[in-house]
Amino acid sequence: MSYFDSLYASSEDPWDYRHRWYEARKRDLTLAMLPHRRYTQGYEPGCSTGELSRRLAERCERLLVSDGNASAVATARERLADQAHVEVRHLLLPDAWPAGAFDLIVISEIGYYLGENGLAALLDRAHSALLPGGVLLGCHWRHPIEGCALTGDQVHERMAALPGLHRLSHLEESDFLLTLWSSDPTSVARREQLL
């Protein structure tokens, strides 16, 4: 039994995404960081139970979410069943990256589980699938995770090294990093012609 299979076998929501204030606050900060009011096509790999997905769905015309664990996918499908514009898939990343292009890609809490090579492959696929002007958002825990060679800080260093992307915003707390990159460096104020 894999690490994630054993986690989801003991709990439908092993990180208690639905009830913990830490997770609710992090979702609010994630949504507040997004510079566009709406996105045409979003993708959230590693969606787990779909708690963040439900909030992202409010901002996307179409949203694809995926997870590599069948139990998490079943919970996410149930959680998002009333959202006709959201598709939930069972995909094992990085190899099963979906076809298509996205103007929003959210890589949250999954980078360190993939190791150096898996993360490099994931970021290459995400970078290639990001539409011009689209945004790539990373959110990762900063404390050590047993069995993971990479830290959240190292994941964000790898994301920051992707060519042609500009850091639009960054939140650094002792527990997590939240960073947004785009090929378009225009600020929200400039987009609204306030400057």
pLDDT in tens, the chain (195 residues): 465 555 445 556 654 567 789 999 999 999 999 999 999 999 999 999 999 999 999 999 999 999 999 999 999 999 999 999 999 999 999 999 999 999 999 999 999 989 999 999 999 999 999 999 999 999 999 999 888 889 999 999 999 999 999 999 999 999 999 999 999 999 988 988 877
Q: Could you tell me the residue ranges of all domains in the chain?
A: 21-191
Question: 21-191 falls under which CATH superfamily?
Answer: Vaccinia Virus protein VP39 (3.40.50.150)
Single-letter code of the amino acid located at 192:
E
What's the DSSP call for residue 113?
G
- Compute CA distances 92 → 6, 95, 134, 186, whole Å: 16, 7, 24, 34
